[in-house]
Structure formats: structure tokens, C-alpha cells
Structure 1
């Protein structure tokens, strides 16, 4: 077997380069060893492979040179869906709706395009399409939207010196629900199960203030969430915050937060400063994330016999 200089350089590169696929690197070493005049048995013993492997790649190289060392197409069912059909599935999903429906089902679209429902689902997955899903959004009409966002985000990223920043809100109407039958624990292959029916043992409101620097939460339970209840919660924050610190409170635009009783309280407590989020923008208040974790980890699946 005789190699050209270009072939030898290419084979040596494949054999040495770390990023080369191991199969291709082995084939390159086989051909290089054969080019030294060694027999198939000697090459097999040197490289730790069987003689049939050496015979195969020697023959492939002699027939097709470097191209012969590439993998041949693997056997299997030939592709039955054309690129045009894939494009049609994607375009129809994005730009059309079927008659009498708001979105395509895989069976309806498969019938229209002439492919199987399974193929439609595979194409949707490949392109990240989920026509059965929808999400809601709300654009804040607040004329001071940008200014308020900058104010709140500024408190998160660069809080004032000698100050504590609290993200504050209420979680109203937390229900104490007792299931009418014992909860059945999870077992392999079956999730936890609980009865649909329940007994409600009342409701309670939770005020929470998340310290954005430490993550500590100040909480207070209340039967209601009126302006006087919010004022009382501000008293609680005042008691639990070091006297030498200014206090910045981030809260939403609930009328109770702007009531006269709250204004009078703020006049008497000049170290407190209220910062209001834009309307319909609770996502910017970090305590909402804490409420979501409380709901997910404690309340949603809990069983409570009393408040």
C-alpha cells in the first residue's frame, strides 16, 4: 500500500488529533500501519483489533482512498416525510387555524398535510411548537411605568447606605382545608392521592415583608387586610428593624396602602419611605416569589384542621 504525502498527513492528523472520533482515528492508524508493509495479522496484533477489521479497512482504503474510511449510511427505514411537508406543518401551525377551532390538533393537521399524527408531533417538538398552550399577559397602563421600575430595581441592585429594603405584600384568604379522607401516600408508579372533598376551617390573611438583603421575612397574620391592618404591620416592621436604619418599603397600589391612616402613620415615622410598583406589575415585587414558594411547598398540598 502506497500513500501520497497529502494522504499521509491527513491520516496522521486523524490519528493524533484529540477531537477526532475514536473510530476514525483507529481506521487511520490501521491504514498507516498497513502502509509500513505489515501484514493484516501483524497490524491486528499491534493495534489490538481482529484481523477482519484490518482487512475491511485496508480494502475500503484501496477502493475509495480517504473517503472509504467514512461511515457508510446506516440501514433503516428510509425517510418518508419531505422537507416541503415539514415546512407546511410549521407554516400552517404558525399562520393558520382550522375551520371551527382556535388551533390545530395533531390529527387535524396530519390529515391536512398528509402525514401521520406522530410525525406532526415530532415536527412540533423539533421546532418548539405547542399550539395547545396559551399564556396571558397584561400591559401596565401606568404613565410612570419606567420611572417606577427604575426606582424599585434600583433599590434591589443599589440600596441606600444605612437602610433596610423590604418587599411587602399581603396574601389574602389563605384557606385551612382538611380533607375528608386520609391522604394516600405516594408509592412507586402512583403519585400521592387525596380526596376531592374538603372541610374548610376558615381563612386568614398573611402580611409579609421580605428583607431584600438578608432574605429574612417578617410575617403577621390578620383576619382582614384593611388600611389599619397594613398600618399595624408597618408597626411590626418598625419594631423588628434596627432604630438607626432608614426603611424602604416596596408595595403595590392597593388602596389600603395609600389610605389617610397610612399617610398619618408615615408622617409620624419619617424613617419609612414607601415605593409603589407600577400598576399590574406584581412580578417586580420579590415577596411575590416568596409567596409562590410558600404556596407550592407548604399550602397547596397541606392538610390543616384549624387556623
Structure 2
């Protein structure tokens, strides 16, 4: 204020005192408005503290839906006029994750309990002198070739891959996982009809000890129950089929192997033809077979059933009718 009284300009004052011109202007404005009192008293710094209704904030994600949107955290944050990071910190403290949605489906199979106990029993107490094989096929495995070559991973930069691709055909992977030792019997075929399924069953018959009874776990796909398949199974009594409940493919441990081969070999792969894709699959399975590791099933049928019952109750409370396919006894 003394320098300004001597006629100095703001820029000269800022340069002499080594502060910003805006700061000089603000202090002069405060002096003009309030005199000495305006520069003697200390004003609050920064933004005022947020006053958050935590109960209201925690209640928003489960019980509200924003207009014209499905992700709730941004809309809800604006609704309560709070900064996004502050809202996210409060939700994190209460264990709420509105940005995550997990898929599920409760089976409506009337024989759910019977099939559940049968399959889990094979996992946890396999019969003697027998092999338990988890079987399935994954169709439409695509041979994708990227439109441009990607760049490799290096320090400070992630590997790159074009978002678009050329389709070079598909194959179907049939696989059977031995629950005991983790060995996999696999075969790639062009289609997944009952004739291809029969061809795969014959492969299993050739590559397993003849003195062993075979218990095959499969889903309810129509090709697995085709009349021609039934006739073949009748002529090969050592094959025993066990079908998972509908909408319960998670009971088949081969799905875990399909996930592994997808994430570890196929998802980022570049294949210019179907034969190249098939070679990559066979190479992965051969490498897997050198040091196989079985998946260990730990959940009992009773534990799974109790979890399904709880899920069924929650669904029943959201619908008009009550869903029934078993009771707690």
C-alpha cells in the first residue's frame, strides 16, 4: 500500500516484492473497500469445507437410477453437488462399488439339487477305478489378424494392438479335462454338431485306459443328447454321462481351462489362417500337458445350495411371484 501511495504501478510493485500482479491488485482492492481493516484481518483460504450428508450419499447407489444413464456415480455426484473424488472416497469407505456389475443367473432346473450333488460328489469323492472328465466345446474361436503390426512392450510404453482386425475363419475346440491330474484331451473341428461330438468321444475312448470307467460331465447342449450319441453310448457302457443343471455351466471345471487358454494364448494372438490358429491351440495344450495342474474343488454341495437359496430369496423379493424349484430341507 505504501508503494502504491508513492505512485508505483502494479507491475513494478509485483517485481520489487517478487509476487504476482494479481495478488497486488487484490490487496489494493481490499484496501479501497475496507481500509486498514481489509488488510489487517485474515480472510479464509481455499474453498469452504464440504458438508456431506453421508447417509444420503451411501443410499444413492443401491436405491436410485439417474436419468438417461446406467452408470450412477457421475449423475449421483452431480445430484448431491459434490466433487467426484470426494463422492468416490465416501463410497469406498462404505464398501460401495457402483462402477462394477457382476453377471449371474440362478438355475431354474427342477433337478438342480440332484445334479449339483452328483457333480460335486464326483469332484470331491471320485469313484475308484474310474476317471472323471469335464467335457465341453467352445465354438466360434476366431482366427483374427490385426490390420497393422503392433509395437512391443518397452519401458514407459505399453504394447500396442490395433482395435480393428481381419477375420480369417473359425474353429471349434472340444476338450476334456481330467479332474484327477489336470491332463487335457482336445480336438479342433470345423463345426460342433453331434457328428463332431461323436468323433471327440471316440478320441476320448482311444486315449484313456480301457480298464477305467469314464464319468463325463457335460452341459445340456442338444448335440450331447442326440439319438445317435445315445446309441453310441449304449454300445460303450464304460461311458457315464452327468449333465450340469441348466444355466449352471460354472459347475463344469472345463470352463476354467477355456478361460485360461483364452486369456493366455488366444485373446492377444494374431492368426492369419485357421490352421495357424489350430497349431497355436495344440501348442498351448501340449505345453499344458508337460506340467499339468488340476483345479481343486473346495465348495461342498450344501454350501453352494445355501448360497443359491439366498440369491433366490433376493430375486423373489424383487418379483411378483415366488420362485420355487426346491426347498431348504
TM-score by length of 2: 0.65
Give the Cα separation in 1 of the matches to 2:172 and 2:197: 11
- 1:281 aligned to 248, 262, 283, which one? 248
Check if 1:95 corresponds to 2:69. no
1:167-186 mapped onto 2 (5 Å cutoff): 167-186=134-153
Cα distance per residue 1:90-112 (max 9 Å; x no partner): 02233223445445334x43444
Check if 1:300 corresponds to 2:267. yes
Where 1:105 maps in the other structure, the secondary structure is: helix
Whose Rg is larger?
Answer: 1
Structure 2 gaps of 5+ residues are: 1-45, 276-329
How large is the RMSD of aligned CA atoms in angstroms? 2.1
Structure 1 residue 225: Cα displacement: 1.0
Cα distance per residue 1:249-297 (max 9 Å; x no partner): 0000011100111111111111110000001111110000000000000
Give the Cα separation in 1 of the matches to 2:134 and 2:85: 48
* Inter-CA distance 220–99: structure 2 relative to 1 (3 Å threshold): closer
Check if 1:187 corresponds to 2:151. no
Check if 1:136 corresponds to 2:103. yes
Structure 1 residue 235: Cα displacement: 0.8
1:21-32 mapped onto 2 (5 Å cutoff): none
Name 2:36's counterpart in structure 1.
none
Name 1:225's counterpart in structure 2.
192
Where 2:53 maps in the other structure, the secondary structure is: helix
Give the Cα separation in 1 of the matches to 2:214 and 2:95: 46
Give the Cα separation in 2 of the matches to 1:123 and 1:112: 15
Structure 1 residue 196: Cα displacement: 2.6
Aligned length: 229
Query: In 1, are the aligned partners of 2:61 and 2:73 still within 8 Å (CA)?
Result: no
1:1-307 mapped onto 2 (5 Å cutoff): 80=49, 85-102=53-70, 104-106=72-74, 108-306=75-273, 307=275
Structure 1 gaps of 5+ residues are: 1-76
Structure 1 residue 80: Cα displacement: 4.0
* Inter-CA distance 141–110: structure 2 relative to 1 (3 Å threshold): closer
